[in-house]
Amino acid sequence: MDYRNLRFETRQIHAGLDKNDITGSRGVAIHPTAAYRFKSCDYAAKLFELSAPGNIYTRLQNPTTSAYEERIAALYGGVGAMAVSSGMAGILVVTVSLASAGENIVVSPYLYGGTYNQFRHTLRRLGIEVRIAPSEKPEDFKALVDENTRFIFAETMGNPTCAVPDLEGLAAVAHSNGIPFVADNTFGAGGYLCNPFEWGADIVVDSATKWINGHGNAMGGVIVDSGSFPWDNGLFPQIAGPSDGYHGLNLYDTFGEAAFIMKCRVDGQRDLGTCPSPFDSYLMLLGLETLSLRVRHQVEATRSLAIYLQDHPKVKRVSYVGFDTHPSHENAKKYFRFGASGVLNAELAGDVSSTVKFVEALRLVANMTMIGDSITVVTHPASTTHKQLSETDLAAAGVTPTLLRISLGLEAVEDIIADFEHAFVKAGI
């Protein structure tokens, strides 16, 4: 079925369901299998040479995971999607699918700590240079691009600063240099709050562990291909040239607009083994059915908590994109549904010690490195997600000693506010 004319709320439930399933099952079945029987040796040969569709091995594809991927692609309006074991795995697969030793990528300074470390340390050991722009301004990205740059990368909302870059501007810089714009859309909630494809992005990566799953019970990531990038411009011979792994097969000639996502699957997933389990894919499918409902509540609750914290005498600063005082307010209004997200930052008065006391005094709000969960979570980035960064890098990323990242869950926000008030009193800030 063509889902393009259906609204997001309908696609999040119906896309990926097999209406022809002879069992008549309402839900998607879990297929806990590692391998699949081949109908014949000739059929198996066609599968392995990529001339026929079908299942080979669950590292490459699985019926449960395929249904999940179809739903994600429908939500984003992409030509295809591939599920991976984590958001970090998704970023790695995208990077090695596009860049090789001696080449570089240009990235935003406002990144999740794990992404920052993958870029600065792991990729460097692989010979891929990562150039970090001094700001999120497109002109600062442009100044770092050269003939060896293979893509531009930014988070649609920075973690934890909630900085929203000019997505259209970054896409324009990338395309003027013949390279794709890759957007980490974790804060965009599976395309519901923000769909980067609408603003020129070519590839999306998303940590499905967060809002897509929504219940903190499975780890996963997704890669989505818009199908819009012209890979035959001479910069990507691994996609639009003879493949060493498939007897000279040209992925772009063979799969057209779906060439990149096929590259991720038949090379990246095959060689790196970043596949999710079928059970985790099933949990993601369940989470997607209520995505829009959950996110609406979380966005409204975040605004309420931000208003409470803004005037609190024990809070030094509130960073919330829904306020017109936030540097990214106008970009958030442009690129994000409701002009906000389910996350805010609060910089407390006091010092690290009093901030720790506050966090440990919370009773309902969980102290975890998590966002997009059904329970409200507070994270102290300086001692957790960004612990590995130097003081200089922490400052560049906007992480201060008393900064808290707060991700609202599905509780009554009045109870969360009461929990915060209790913690302020208990910590004696």
Give residue limits of the domains in the chain.
Answer: 11-287, 292-427
Please report which residue ranges of 219-351 form alpha helices under DSSP H.
251-255, 259-263, 270-272, 278-288, 291-310, 329-335
Question: Mind listing the pLDDT tens digit for each residue in 130-146?
Answer: 999 999 999 999 999 99
For 185-227, write each residue's pLDDT tens digit.
Answer: 999 999 999 999 999 999 999 999 999 999 999 999 999 999 9
Return the pLDDT at 347: 94
**Beta strands 149-155 and 181-184: pairing type?**
parallel
pLDDT for res 394: 63
**Given this model, what pLDDT does residue 385 score?**
62
Q: State the pLDDT at residue 74.
A: 97
CATH of domain 292-427: 3.90.1150.10
Distance CA 158, CA 108 (A): 9
| Residues with pLDDT less than 50, the chain | none
Contact present, 331 and 137 (Cβ < 8 Å):
no
Per DSSP, 241 falls in state S
Distance CA 356, CA 204 (A): 35
Q: Which residues of 398-420 are buried (b: 16+ CB within 10 A; e: fewer)?
A: bbbbbbbbbbbbbbebeebbebb
State how far the alpha carbon of 44 is from the alpha carbons of 50, 54, 370, in Å. Answer: 10, 9, 42
If you classify domain 11-287 with CATH, what class do you get? alpha beta
